[in-house]
Amino acid sequence: MQMKVAIIGLGLMGGSLALSLKKLNFIDTIVGIDHNPTHQKDALKLSLVDKIIPFEEAKNYDVIFLAIPVDGVISILKQLTDVAENTTIIDLGSTKEMIVKSVPPQIRKNFVAAHPMTGTENFGPYAAVEGLYKDKVVVLCDLEESGEHQARVARKIFKNLGMNKHFMKSHEHDRHAAFISHMPHAISFSIANTVMKQEHKHNILALAAGGFRSMSRLAKSSPNMWEDIFRQNKTNLLEAIELFENELRGLKTKIQNDEWDKVHQNMVDGNKLHDILD
């Protein structure tokens, strides 16, 4: 079956998705919706979508992707309560539990909660990257609550994008994401602000090399998007930050006390992370 796809939000995630969907032979049409006129023009200039349409027209499409900040997802879902029975609505937000709980009951079967574990620190249509989704993990949450047709459509699309599918409950996703995504962003913003508040910040940044650039890279991310994520996942994020603070405080104490063997062991323990990741 040929599918007509509407993508709401034409930034990094939505734009990259459009580029990848163009490669799939069962996708017939890809249109875009974005409240930002500049994003609309850029998306057309970059040929990310076939055309820009008004929001109401999106309801006529087979698949509607929500590639917008997570607070926006909740708001938009309330405006999609009159879609057709076979319409599939897929959100790509970085939080899941609050979104799932907010889905209007009459379209719960239409809805699939997804989080592609991919992205960059850049945003806007010009940040779109072809192949962004390939070989990455996509988490599908509470899929048993979605309709059979909608679950099948989502599985097919993500499989053909070359993604590795994982399934879990939305509350499990949000706690896990707090540790591997949301807390690192909070730390990166804090590292950037620590340096920017120094009197001689320009001299300090003149020395910036790979380590600092890697640690501060996430601080380039969209404040609008990440404010929403921090708000929706507040409880899990605060727990992750507190555990990180305890770990950092412990290392600080070892350094203060000249316990260099323990400092060394702390680093050895940290090295073991990449035994798993690599």
Domain identity same for 184 and 82: no
Does 130 share its domain with 106? yes
Task: Judge if 41 and 15 occupy the same domain.
Answer: yes
Predicted TM-score (pTM) of the model is 0.87
Average pLDDT over residues 98-102: 96
Question: What is the domain-level CATH number for residue 132?
Answer: 3.40.50.720
Place of tokens 């960059």: 120
The residue whose two tokens read 């059979």 is 148
Query: Same domain, yes or no, for 148 and 214?
Result: no
Domain count, the chain: 2
Mark whether 201 and 272 lie in a shared domain: yes
* Exposure string over 49-70, b if 16+ CB within 10 A, otherwise e: bbebeeeeebbebbbbbbbbbb
146 and 178 share a domain? no
Strand-pair partners of 160: none
Residues 58, 189 within the same domain: no
Give the pLDDT confidence score for residue 221 in this predicted structure.
Answer: 87
Average pLDDT over residues 253-267: 96
- 57 token code pair: 């027209």
CB burial string 120-130: b at 16+ within 10 A, e below: beebbbebbee
Residues 56 and 152 in one domain: yes
Which structural domain range is residue 244 located in? Answer: 172-277
Do residues 221 and 185 share a domain?
Answer: yes
Helix and strand numbers, DSSP H then E, in the chain: 13, 8
Tens digit of each residue's pLDDT (9 = 90 or more) over 172-221 = 999 999 999 999 999 999 999 998 898 888 877 877 767 788 888 889 88
Residues facing residue 166 across a β-bridge: 139
181 and 162 co-located in one domain: no
Do 156 and 200 share a structural domain? no
- Is the domain of 254 the same as that of 178? yes
Residue 200's pLDDT is what? 82
- Secondary structure (3-state) at 92: coil
Angle of CA points 113, 118, 123, to nearest 5°: 100
Give per-residue pLDDT as tens, 102-111.
Answer: 999 999 999 9
Residue-wise pLDDT tens digits, 207-234:
776 778 888 888 988 898 899 999 999 9
User: Is residue 178 within 8 Å of residue 240, measured between CB atoms?
Assistant: yes
**Of 168, 196, 218, which closes a domain?**
168
